Structure 1
Amino acid sequence: MAVPASKADLLAAISTTFGKLMFDLARVPQELARDPSLEGHVSGTVMSPADLVAYLLGWNELVLKWLERDDRGEPVDFPETGFQWNQLGALAQKFYADHRSLDWPELLARLSATNAQLASTVSSRPDDELYGRPWYGKWTKGRMIQFNTSSPYANARGRIRRWLKEQR
């Protein structure tokens, strides 16, 4: 899929990749959702399918936080308060821990709800806001949203599909 360059492209990328991801996540047996048998986000670690969903949920919630802070005219602390871009492994661990109490159906429901909220907030913004000017360094707001939604959805889908094949 081409890199989105407009609001319509971004919404299509988010919708398409998310739909495909959710199709595959629905195939994960609930009894294996917390099994740490998937390659982790940090080299040499393992995670569970539930951790992978927690990771996506954490990033989606973070994008919404960035947008809300920006809308209020407040500074955005990229990627997250207390974390630098070179600490994404630690941030992933935080996301796993933040959502550890949710069972598999709750995780999937929260991810779906957060994705819907993201699509709604993207829909409410003009193209110029999303793609007309840099927002973080050289990156536009639309590109930052894509980096943390549709791209990770596609990556997660590949991981889950490989994992599902290994479970046979």
Structure 2
Amino acid sequence: MTVPQTKAELRSAIDKNFSKLMGYLNTIPEEMTLDNAMDGHAKGTQMSVRDLVSYLLGWNHLVVKWITADEKGLPVDFPETGFKWNQLGLLAQKFYADYKELNYHALLTELESAKENIVRLIDERSDDILYGKPWYTKWTMGRMISFNTSSPYANANGRIRQWAKNNQFSLK
């Protein structure tokens, strides 16, 4: 899929990749979601399906935090307070820990809610706000949203397909 350049393309990419992702995630029994059987987000680490969902949820919450802070005229602390862009592995570990108390179905519900929140925030903005000017360094708001929603959803789809293949599990 090409990189979204408009609000409509961004919505389409998010909806397409998220729909496929949720289709996969909803087929996986909760008891299989704790096995650390896929490559983690930090080099040399392993993660579970739950961790992957926690990672996506963490980034979705950050996107909402960024847009909401910007809307209020507050400075946006990219990527997250206390983390630099070269510490994304540590940030992933934080996300895994942040949501460890939620059961798998609650994680999925929370991810769905966070995604819907992002879609609402996109819908409230024009193409010009999303793509008309740089928002963070050279990146537009729309591109930053895409970097942290539709792109990771697509990446997660590939990780889950590989996990399923390695575990002889059918995602159908």
CA-CA distance at 1:38 after TM superposition: 1.2
Residue 125 of structure 2 corresponds to residue 125 of structure 1: yes
CA-CA distance at 1:49 after TM superposition: 0.2
Distance in 1 of aligned mates of 2:29 and 2:39: 18
- The corresponding residue for 1:39 is 39
Q: What secondary structure does 1:135 align onto?
A: strand
Distance in 2 of aligned mates of 1:26 and 1:161: 13
- The corresponding residue for 2:62 is 62
Distance in 1 of aligned mates of 2:43 and 2:25: 23
Larger mean CA deviation between 33-42 and 139-148 belongs to 33-42
- The corresponding residue for 1:154 is 154
CA-CA distance at 1:36 after TM superposition: 1.1
Deviation string, structure 1 residues 124-150 (Cα, Å, up to 9, x no partner) = 101100000000011000000000000
CA-CA distance at 1:8 after TM superposition: 0.4
Q: What secondary structure does 1:53 align onto?
A: helix
CA-CA distance at 1:31 after TM superposition: 0.5
CA-CA distance at 1:56 after TM superposition: 0.2
Larger mean CA deviation between 95-104 and 19-28 belongs to 19-28
- The corresponding residue for 1:102 is 102
CA-CA distance at 1:29 after TM superposition: 1.7
CA-CA distance at 1:152 after TM superposition: 0.2
- The corresponding residue for 1:73 is 73
Runs of 4+ in 1 over 2 A off after TM superposition: none
Q: What secondary structure does 2:113 align onto?
A: helix
CA-CA distance at 1:34 after TM superposition: 1.1
Residue 11 of structure 2 corresponds to residue 11 of structure 1: yes
- The corresponding residue for 1:86 is 86
- The corresponding residue for 1:111 is 111
The gaps in structure 1 that reach 5 residues or longer are none
TM-score, structure 1 as length reference: 0.99
Code of the residue aligned with 2:58 in structure 1: it is G
Deviation string, structure 1 residues 55-83 (Cα, Å, up to 9, x no partner) = 00000000000000000000000000000
> Is the Cα–Cα contact under 8 Å of residues 28 and 164 in structure 1 kept in the other structure?
no
Q: What secondary structure does 2:88 align onto?
A: helix
Q: CA RMSD in A?
A: 0.6
Code of the residue aligned with 1:42 in structure 2: it is A
- Paired-residue identity, %: 57
CA-CA distance at 1:166 after TM superposition: 1.4
CA-CA distance at 1:27 after TM superposition: 1.9
TM-score, structure 2 as length reference: 0.96
